Amino acid sequence: MNRENAWTTYEEADIKALEGLCKEYKDFLSNGKTERECVAQSIELAKKAGYQDLEELIKNQTPLKAGNKVYRTWMEKTIALFQIGEDAIEDGLNILGAHIDSPRLDLKQNPLYEDTEMALLDTHYYGGVKKYQWVTLPMALHGVVVKKDGTKVNICIGEKDEDPVVGITDLLIHLSGKQMQKKGNVIVEGEDLNVLIGSKPLKGEEKEAVKKQLLQLFDEEYGIEEEDFLSAEIEVVPAGKARDFGLDRSMIMSYGQDDRVCAYTSLAAMLNVEAPKRTSCCILVDKEEIGSVGATGMHSRFFENTVAEILALTGDYNDLRLRRTLQNSYMLSSDVSAAFDPNYPSVMEKKNCAYFGKGLVLNKYTGARGKSGSNDANPEYIAQLRKIFDEAKVAFQTAELGKVDEGGGGTIAYIPAAYSMNVIDCGVAVLSMHAPWEIT
Ligand code: MN
Ligand code: MN
């Protein structure tokens, strides 16, 4: 049952290919710190690989045939790609799914205020975070502001070398006697995650002169006024690029690897597929970190609706054909796994946990407290996957997320499984999951 470390199996050509993929992956991470930025990059890569916008084909009622490649996005925050196979679509799709949202701090709708001649932005954290990890770091602002006339202003401040950064202060150790006695979950509290953005008053102003100076700057640089924050999505994320980690450069450190490490690799695999027998699909979704809700999360009808559109362009659409297509599908639902950490061995059961270097992690089930909330993959399906992986010399391992009753977590897998298709959780092992800087 011991699985070999993949590094020891690689030839020189494999290492070269790996380095190439990792370079592109790091670029994807550095340029994709929000769902929208990941979707924009995915569209660009898809177009280069010969994918067409499905909306155009729907508008012109252009029929789809084997070999055709299409993509469709929704609200700029989720994307689905399809390559039509030779087999009838009702025989099912081969689907790769992952999520492109990551834990972060979102600006509140009314975020800007001044206190003691300092200007701050109020936030509401998104996803599960250890709040004390998000202070004293250089942070960047990414997102969009949509004005009443519909114009959209893209914001990205803090990534270029010459850009300023922002961030959240922490109490100095000298005065932290009381703070250090607190429990971990209240050392830094959610309402105190306020981002410091300025301290220079506007000349000639008496009241809120620092805030006014910043509002003037927003107007000059972006043409936005304070009320425009009401219709904005601005995410506060760690500033800086993805980079090699370890003196041997065997790892990558970056913000947002949960779950962009699975999203990027799924996308890269999809774009490399040529003339598949079964129709191939890759779906990258939003909102996983808060329960896969909303119009762009996996629970949305977007995926089902898009498969319906594909069916309509490949013959007659009918409800039975849609249901058959979905139930006959197979899916690798990929999300990060907790890697074994030598600093914290007590939370892991060593025979059933994920390790760096041992390949794709298959999780038959996830969940918490007796597998609750899990998609429990069928052994018949796992047997097929083992065979495929072994024959293609794909390194894989199997794992659970920590010891029984130690904690737990969920993914998107159970949602498409509700169509009665075969789905398994799998993914890449990560250290410091949900921290500002994660390691794969
Ligand atoms: Mn995840
Ligand atoms: Mn997560």
- Protein residues near ligand 2, an ion, with CB under 5 A: 258
Q: Which numbered ligand comes closest to the C-alpha of 425? A: 1
CA-based radius of gyration for the chain: 23
Low-confidence spans in the chain with pLDDT less than 70:
none
pLDDT of residue 409: 87
Residue 151 sits at the vertex; the CA angle it makes with 149 and 157, to the nearest 5 degrees, is 135
pLDDT on residue 143: 98
> For residue 2, what pLDDT is reported?
84
Q: What is the pLDDT of residue 103?
A: 98
Cis peptide before 319 (omega within 30 of 0): no
| Contact criterion met (CB below 8 Å) for 320 and 328 | no
Question: Ligand 1 centroid to 204 CA: how many Å?
Answer: 50
Task: State the Cα–Cα distance between residues 125 and 145, nearest whole angstrom.
Answer: 19
Nearest listed ligand to the Cα of residue 286: 1
Interior/surface letters 15-46, b for 16+ CB within 10 angstroms, e for the rest: eeeeeeebeebbebbbbbbbbbbbbbbbbebb
Compute, in angstroms, the gap from residue 173 CA to the centroid of ligand 2: 31
Strand segments (E) across 28-147: 52-53, 69-74, 78-83, 93-99, 104-115, 118-126, 139-146
24 Cα–ligand 2 center, Å:
22
Q: What is the pLDDT of residue 316?
A: 85
Nearest to 84 by CA among 363, 399, 315: 315
The alpha carbon of 411 and the centre of ligand 2 are apart by a number of angstroms equal to 8
Q: How far is the CA of 440 from the centre of ligand 2 (A)?
A: 14
Instruction: Give the end-to-end CA distance of the chain in Å, rounded to a whole number.
Output: 23
Check residue 3 and give its pLDDT.
87
pLDDT of residue 211: 98
Question: Which two structure tokens, joined as six digits, stand for 299?
Answer: 């629970």
Strand-strand pairing, 93-99 and 330-334: parallel
Task: Give the Å distance between the CA of 259 and the centre of ligand 2.
Answer: 7
Q: Which ligand is nearest to the CA of 97?
A: 1
Ligand nearest to the CA of 433: 2
Q: Are 206 and 117 in contact (CB under 8 A)?
A: no
Relative to the alpha carbon of 289, which ligand is closest? 2
